[in-house]
Chain A
């Protein structure tokens, strides 16, 4: 049940989520829209890594997911600050 049905379906759904977010990243139309799409891509990447970890029964992917969560948050905050102030480090 788990490996037969649930995991492939979950992979397909997350891949579709990637495609939709990527479409928004390309289309825009504004800068905050693109940042939001990037942020969603980060979250989707975490989901994909967690699924891979379960599929391959390997706990190694957890570290990568944690790092992506950290970097994604910092990237989003830095980009938003750039939009708000026109500068990141004051």
Chain B
């Protein structure tokens, strides 16, 4: 029974990791490519880590929970790096399939433009 659950978690995790990278290759502009790795890969690795925690906990050497740490860390950092990558792409004015909304085209430039949002990112960690 445990074996089946573990196998399911491992297969699902590996499949999501694969789909995340597949999205990286198949999608057509940077902003849509961003979605694959940040979501699918994070959930895939999370699922693998849960499988690992279950596996080591059921081997009779006590509960093993330190995988939770990596999972938490990934789930906190993945959105931050996605946000930063997306901001960098907007800054470089990469081609996008979706039109930018009104008022965003004429972005204010200069070194202090993004201070506000960077402060809020620092708080998130």
Asked if A pairs with B, the answer is yes
User: Chain A: residues with CB nearer than 8 A to chain B?
Assistant: 1-2, 5-7, 9-11, 13-14, 16-18, 20-21, 23-24, 30-33, 35-37, 39-40, 43-44, 46-47, 50-51, 53-54, 57, 59, 62, 65-66, 69-70, 73, 76-77, 80-81, 83-85
Per DSSP, are chain A's interface residues mostly helix, strand or loop, or mixed?
helix
A73: which B residues are within 8 A, CB to CB?
Answer: 73, 77, 80-81
- Asked if B3 and A33 sit within 8 Å, CB to CB, the answer is no
Q: Given A10-B10, A24-B24, answer yes or no on A76-B44 (Cβ-Cβ < 8 Å).
A: no
Interface residue ranges, B against A (CB under 8 Å): 3-4, 6-7, 10-11, 13-15, 17-18, 20-22, 24-25, 30, 33-34, 37, 41-42, 44-45, 48-49, 51-52, 55-56, 59, 64, 66-67, 69-70, 73-74, 77-78, 80-81, 84-85, 87-89, 91-92, 94, 111, 114
Overall SS of chain B's interface: helix
25 contacts between A and B (CB under 8 A): A1-B3, A5-B7, A6-B11, A9-B14, A11-B14, A14-B18, A17-B20, A20-B21, A24-B33, A32-B85, A36-B37, A36-B85, A37-B24, A43-B37, A43-B45, A43-B78, A47-B48, A50-B45, A50-B67, A51-B14, A54-B10, A76-B85, A77-B84, A80-B84, A83-B88
